[in-house]
Amino acid sequence: ETGYMVLYEPIWDGNLEIIDYLIQHGADVNLTNTRKETALIYAVQAGELEVAQRLIEAGAIVSAKDEGWCDALWYARRCMPRRSKEECHIRQQMITLLKQYRQR
């Protein structure tokens, strides 16, 4: 299997080394799970900014929507934690990143 399920655990753990390895060896960053969530949507849900950046650089489609027609930016705006100043800062950086690439 090359794609979403292979990337699932390292995304949640924020393990860039494994993510880079998997991408270099053919993991498809645009495969989806049964709810049509992409690896990028999952990275946003996990609050993993650097992972999201890596996935975008590897060709992740920023505007891809899940089965509820929600994209990564929607999740960043509505679902990322913001309990602390650090979480708020990461959330804002994620939104900025996604908006930047969504317009391309």
Cβ atoms < 10 Å from Cβ of 104: 7
14-23 confidence digits (pLDDT tens): 999 999 999 9
pLDDT over 50 (residue 73): yes
Contact at 8 Å (CB) between 76 and 62? no
Whether pTM exceeds 0.85: yes
What is the model's pLDDT at position 3? 54
pLDDT band at residue 1 under the 50/70/90 scheme: very low
Residue type, 95: I
Q: What end-to-end distance do the CA atoms of the chain give, in Å? A: 29
Q: What pLDDT is recorded for position 2? A: 47
Q: CA Rg, the chain, in Å?
A: 13
Closest C-alpha among 11, 2, 99, 104 to residue 54: 11
